[in-house]
Amino acid sequence: MSSAHIDTFARDNLPPVDQQPQFLFDLPELQFPAQLNCATELLDRHITEGNGDRTCIRAPNLSWTYADLQDKANRIANVLVRDMGVVPGNRVLLHAPNNPMMAACWFAIIKAGAIAVATMPMLRAKELKAVVDKAQIRHALCDAALAQEMHNTAVQCPGLQTLRHFNDAGPDSLEAAMSRQSGAFTNADTAADDTCIIAFTSGTTGIPKATMHFHRDVMAACACWSRHVLRPTADDVFIGSPPLAFTFGLGGLILFPLSVGASTVLLEKAGPAQLLDGIRDFGATVLFTAPTSYRTLAPRGIELRKTALRRCVSAGEALPVSTRTLWREATGIELIDGIGATEMLHIFISADEAHARPGATGRVVPGYQACVLDEQGQSVPVGTVGKLAVRGPTGCRYLADERQKTYVRDGWNLTGDAYRMDADGYFIYQARTDDMIVSSGYNIAAPEVEDALMLHPAVAECAVIGSPDDERGQIVHAFVALRAGNDGNDVMVKTLQDFVKNTVAPYKYPRAITFVGTLPRTQTGKLQRFKLRDLA
């Protein structure tokens, strides 16, 4: 393999070989050529194969064919290389809400052999600066709507040399520069193991970590979970809420639809109301969003049944049985649950609608191996709770980070999740390993208590943590958001406590209950239990 990177920063900062996970390429679809540019496979290939006229990206008042997207991406790639001085291996910051121009910029960066570092639109200058510093970024493409925060960042980051704004009509805009460039571009001849994206972990705690993924990793995600579990066709229309800066969104809204020549709907705002409108107006067939969003959308089941929606994917956090049932009863669609991680790029344990088992995330995705380990790193018997370990064609490569040694042990990726596996190879989620509550010597998984509470009709959302307690070490403490029309009083506390005692083993009941209006969540829809710990 010969690297196309002139700037060798990514390769220089890979974890030492002995700290990297073991990679598996057993499947025939994982035999990648030495030179591989994933933009050629995902985008240009369709034009070469005569499908340039097919719809690729849709958004309110906009529709681009594959040829349109290629033209935009090529022009931007020319701007990057000729105007901005980007060379292969440079990192390019991409800051925008999900929209067509952001997708075009993403492809332009990959085509140029540079490394896309996408960031969530809500990030503030302080957080953006941390990204720029960590990935040593000199070039940025930013949506004009986020110009103010980008400006505040640039002021604090002298290393940031070039910046262009898009979705902007001004004379200095990216669009103006694009109009002066050709729509032809020869993609950088990158090695399959050249880094093409640096993804920051959304993180529910602590300092964000930067993960590096290669061109072949991007294609592997398409070849494994998407090809074997989702099985989309060229006629599918994808839609969803996760930001493209979150690899769940990148896969679900760009990589997987484009890998099969399907189309994707990009929405800047994708709350339940916008999703519902989008599903109806664009005839979406495949939906990607988080469990909480399925709960909010479920009451609109009658309208959803009239749409073309056929596949619904849930990831990001554990899917409660009650949410799976709620969605099935409301829409007639069985959810596809899947656990993925930024470190692994995408989903590695999942089940399609025909194989879904309530309470289980699913079975290991073709191309991956998974097992459950004890504290000593030994495999535990079927049914025993332990640490989830996975390996496959993708895996954890933190950029210059000591935490590599914690995530990867003996070639296995340790995701930080407690799981048990049943005799049929289904993996049953328990908790994040740090969300296991130990009360009077009992191990209690926070999500199990949450699932029980969620079954009560008065409960809209809830979160459970272990609060320090002199007598018991920790006690189960629930934070509950009630549905409209219910009062958070002592009677309700007693009602919910009794309800949990009757649903799961009584020792798991929440000894403390705090009523809240909403629960703290990350931009990717993940519960921030650490914020509740501060509160408690």
Binding site for ligand 3UK (CB under 6 A): 201-202, 247-248, 315-319, 337-342, 346-347, 361, 415-417, 429, 432, 524
CB 257 within 8 A of CB 236: yes
Q: By C-beta, is 389 or 453 nearer to ligand 3UK?
A: 389
Smallest separation (angstroms) from ligand 3UK to the CB of 421: 14
Smallest separation (angstroms) from ligand 3UK to the CB of 446: 12
Distance from chain centroid for Cα 416: 16
Smallest separation (angstroms) from ligand 3UK to the CB of 454: 15
Smallest separation (angstroms) from ligand 3UK to the CB of 323: 11
Smallest separation (angstroms) from ligand 3UK to the CB of 289: 11
Q: By C-beta, is 205 or 384 nearer to ligand 3UK?
A: 205
Q: By C-beta, is 240 or 272 nearer to ligand 3UK?
A: 240
The H-assigned helical ranges of 144-230 are 147-156, 174-179, 215-221
Smallest separation (angstroms) from ligand 3UK to the CB of 337: 5
Which residue from 208, 80, 200, 98 is spatially nearest to 140, judged by alpha carbons?
A: 80
* Cβ within 8 Å of residue 86, ≥6 positions away: 80, 92, 109, 112, 114, 139, 162
Q: By C-beta, is 149 or 317 nearer to ligand 3UK?
A: 317
The angle that helices 321-331 and 446-454 make with each other, rounded to 10 degrees, is: 40
User: Using CB atoms, what's the residue nearest to ligand 3UK?
Assistant: 340
Smallest separation (angstroms) from ligand 3UK to the CB of 526: 6
Q: What is the CA radius of gyration of the chain?
A: 23
Smallest separation (angstroms) from ligand 3UK to the CB of 350: 8
Q: By C-beta, is 73 or 224 nearer to ligand 3UK?
A: 224
Q: By C-beta, is 341 or 444 nearer to ligand 3UK?
A: 341
10: which 2 tokens?
């990514």
Place of tokens 């006229």: 53
Angstrom distance (rounded) from CA 520 to CA 378: 36
DSSP 532: H
CB 64 within 8 A of CB 100: yes
Angstrom distance (rounded) from CA 335 to CA 487: 32
Give the Å distances, CA to CA, from 145 to 95, 112, 142: 10, 25, 8
Angstrom distance (rounded) from CA 101 to CA 243: 14
Place of tokens 């409301």: 330
Q: b/e string for 208-217 if b means 16 or more Cβ within 10 A?
A: ebbbbbbbbb
141: which 2 tokens?
């493409």
Angstrom distance (rounded) from CA 321 to CA 451: 7
Angstrom distance (rounded) from CA 146 to CA 156: 16
Q: By C-beta, is 305 or 405 nearer to ligand 3UK?
A: 405
H or E element, residue 491 = helix 490-503
Q: By C-beta, is 103 or 335 nearer to ligand 3UK?
A: 335
Smallest separation (angstroms) from ligand 3UK to the CB of 212: 14
Q: By C-beta, is 416 or 473 nearer to ligand 3UK?
A: 416
435: which 2 tokens?
């969300």
Question: What amino acid occupies position 493?
Answer: V
Place of tokens 């705090």: 514
Angstrom distance (rounded) from CA 312 to CA 295: 13
Q: By C-beta, is 70 or 413 nearer to ligand 3UK?
A: 413
Smallest separation (angstroms) from ligand 3UK to the CB of 501: 25
Q: By C-beta, is 13 or 522 nearer to ligand 3UK?
A: 522
Angstrom distance (rounded) from CA 351 to CA 319: 12
Smallest separation (angstroms) from ligand 3UK to the CB of 288: 9
